[in-house]
Structure 1
Amino acid sequence: MQLLVFRIVYPLLWLISKLPFPVFYKVSDAVFFLVYHIIGYRKKVVTENLQLVFPEKPSEEINRIRKKFYHHMCDMFLEMIKSISISNEELKRRFVFTNIEEIHRLRKMNKSIILMCGHYASYEWMNALQLYGINYRGFGIYKKVKNPYFDKLAKDIRGRYDGVLIPTVEATKTITANEKNGIRGVYGMVADQSPKIERAKYWMDFLSIKVPVYTGSEKLAKDLDMAVVYLQVKKLKRGFYEASFVTISDNPKEEPEFKITKTFFEHLEKQIKSSPQFYLWTHKRWKHRFLNTNNKAIVID
């Protein structure tokens, strides 16, 4: 059944990826109409998240942000499909890195890099980094796709740029082995998910709400002496992004506990407050949080 689904869906994805960009974004507009107006995909979750984070904003503004977000989300999903066939030249033109010299500086220090990303703007086209001759192997930490054929497709897309996907459950073991064998790499990690409550080791204020946060990136950096960099991505206009490297620490062993994690969230929070429509509001980031009234952690289903 999984193979049948893949054989039915993949040709459609391939055809969409081949569309010229003006037509391609017309398809995204059609998907937006379906997702937002007809299906209403997670509209309640998005609305509640926005109201929770921005209690001072009137409902009209919340609705405007919500609608802009869904437009962006559909674009980002379609752009992931575009990765199947986009040319190297087009990818590099649409996802520009502004300060690649910072990566070269860290490479001269012979350090691997943990590239901390948020669910903000887009990270789907960050493979363009491999087109800049950075002399690093690129790795992406990801949640394995249940359908093995689509999982292989995701790996093949990354493989076009000499990138490798590492399942989250294998990340620590694989990265540690690479470091011991002298394989230096850039490891992209989307680091703003909500951890399981029983695994929460650190709580902090994120957008004025106290939540548990993952600290795995910081722990790896400290244990293996890896530089930590925040990938600050801005959406300039439809289909065009600009990414900058903001080094959090190139000597993580000397950083106070949790400072790296806290700095990452501070950078991300600043971007969200500036342009909230580009954050992924559909995921339940605040499903675990402390209530101000009784200081107890609660789970929002």
Structure 2
Amino acid sequence: MMHLLVYILIYPVIWLISMLPFSVLYAISDVVYLLVYYVIGYRKKVVLNNLRLAFPEKTDEEIVKIRKKFYRHFVDVFVEMIKSFTVSKEEVYKRYKYTNLELFDELYKDGKSVILTGPHYANWEWIMSLDSFVKYKGYAAFTKVKNPYLNEKILRSRAKFGTNLIQTSKIIAEIKHNHKHNIQAMYGLLSDQSPQLSKTFYWSEFLGVKVPIHTGAEMLAKRFKMNMVYIETKKIKRGYYETSFSLISNETEKYPDYKLTDIFTDKVEKQIRTQPEYYFWTHNRFKHLNKAPK
């Protein structure tokens, strides 16, 4: 009953906000940014610590400037997520462009599936629209929301382009099924956050700091002989993004362990260093500092 009550109270508000035009939403975002940054101070210490570890060569003034830009973008992404509940496909197509979709046409010819991997950078929600432009059956791993009513609404919102949302814990079973029945599919995995230490198999440097690294994308690509493709999204201007893709490997099974993960991590790092304000810095990426095995 409590989940239902929360849903009844919260979802109508979310829906009404979502119906507002982008211009009004970004005006709200400007106000929320002031509250989040100057009044609430949401995870400011975490963000500051992350930035100082990642960019030790930058001055305090430069770090603070990046942090402010990040929070402005962070709140923008939050309102864009809310807008996703009611935004039309046509509006997303206008705001979220792809530059080299022909890569997937070529890869589809080899009969294999694709692991599509990338970081929490720029706007990672609207990548769901990719399913409208490729031949593959699309899947995206997601973490279930505890409230079942809100969870259902989120699933419907994200699946409007045809992408199948599947819990991370169930994705291996789905890959096995599709592989067995020769179904070519594309599986979207965001692999830049810290794994649990109990599930860590590999440590490496990321932005100059030795951290535990997710290896699930590599493991799945090699096990099922899938192509591995990297997502790179750029923020062109407020509310507008451009995404391109680069092939990590079309022969993943031939790589030594962790090499594909290293290639992925290197790509993420280069992308972050280009415009660090668009990375998801509120995640405590370096919480396991100095815990790496000798």
Equivalent residues of 1:88, 1:131 under 8 A apart:
no
Deviation, structure 1 residue 216: 0.8
> Is 1:233 aligned to 2:254, yes or no?
no
Deviation, structure 1 residue 194: 0.7
Deviation, structure 1 residue 16: 1.6
Matches within 5 A, 1:184-199: 184-199=184-199
SS state at 1:104 partner: helix
Matches within 5 A, 1:272-287: 272-287=272-287
SS state at 2:231 partner: strand
Q: 1:59 — aligned with what?
A: 60
Q: 1:45 — aligned with what?
A: 46
Matches within 5 A, 1:72-221: 72-132=73-133, 134-221=134-221
Q: 1:27 — aligned with what?
A: 28
Equivalent residues of 1:115, 1:188 under 8 A apart:
yes
Equivalent residues of 2:235, 2:241 under 8 A apart:
yes
SS state at 1:187 partner: strand
SS state at 1:46 partner: helix
Instruction: Evaluate the alpha carbon distance shift between residue 296 and residue 112 of structure 1 in structure 2; reply closer, same or farther with a 3 A threshold.
Output: closer
- Gap runs ≥5 in structure 1: none
Q: Amino acid of the residue matched to residue 90 of structure 1?
A: E
Equivalent residues of 1:231, 1:245 under 8 A apart:
yes
Deviation, structure 1 residue 256: 2.0
Deviation, structure 1 residue 123: 0.9
Equivalent residues of 1:92, 1:131 under 8 A apart:
no
Normalised TM-score (structure 1):
0.94
Q: 2:13 — aligned with what?
A: 12
Identity of aligned residues (%): 47
Deviation, structure 1 residue 166: 1.1
CA distance in 1, matches of 2:289, 2:49: 14
CA distance in 1, matches of 2:123, 2:178: 27
Matches within 5 A, 1:247-262: 247-262=247-262
- Gap runs ≥5 in structure 2: none
CA distance in 2, matches of 1:182, 1:139: 15
CA distance in 2, matches of 1:33, 1:148: 32
CA distance in 2, matches of 1:235, 1:28: 17
Q: Deviations over 1:230-279 (max 9, x none)?
A: 00010111000000011101111112221111111111100111110001
Q: Amino acid of the residue matched to residue 281 of structure 2?
A: W
Equivalent residues of 1:218, 1:261 under 8 A apart:
yes
CA distance in 1, matches of 2:79, 2:284: 22
Deviation, structure 1 residue 126: 0.7
CA distance in 2, matches of 1:34, 1:5: 24
Q: Amino acid of the residue matched to residue 48 of structure 1?
A: N
Equivalent residues of 1:84, 1:157 under 8 A apart:
yes
SS state at 1:280 partner: coil
Equivalent residues of 1:120, 1:279 under 8 A apart:
yes
Equivalent residues of 2:218, 2:260 under 8 A apart:
yes
Equivalent residues of 2:128, 2:159 under 8 A apart:
no
Q: Amino acid of the residue matched to residue 137 of structure 2?
A: R
CA distance in 2, matches of 1:233, 1:65: 18
Deviation, structure 1 residue 130: 2.1
Runs of 4+ in 1 over 4 A off after TM superposition: none
Deviation, structure 1 residue 182: 2.0
Q: Amino acid of the residue matched to residue 174 of structure 1?
A: E
Normalised TM-score (structure 2):
0.96
Q: Which moved more, 1:233-242 or 1:20-29?
A: 20-29
CA distance in 1, matches of 2:121, 2:159: 23
Q: Deviations over 1:114-159 (max 9, x none)?
A: 1101011111101221222x11121111111111112111211122
CA distance in 1, matches of 2:248, 2:289: 26
Deviation, structure 1 residue 290: 3.4
Alignment size in residue pairs: 293
Q: 1:70 — aligned with what?
A: 71
SS state at 1:128 partner: helix
Equivalent residues of 1:73, 1:280 under 8 A apart:
yes
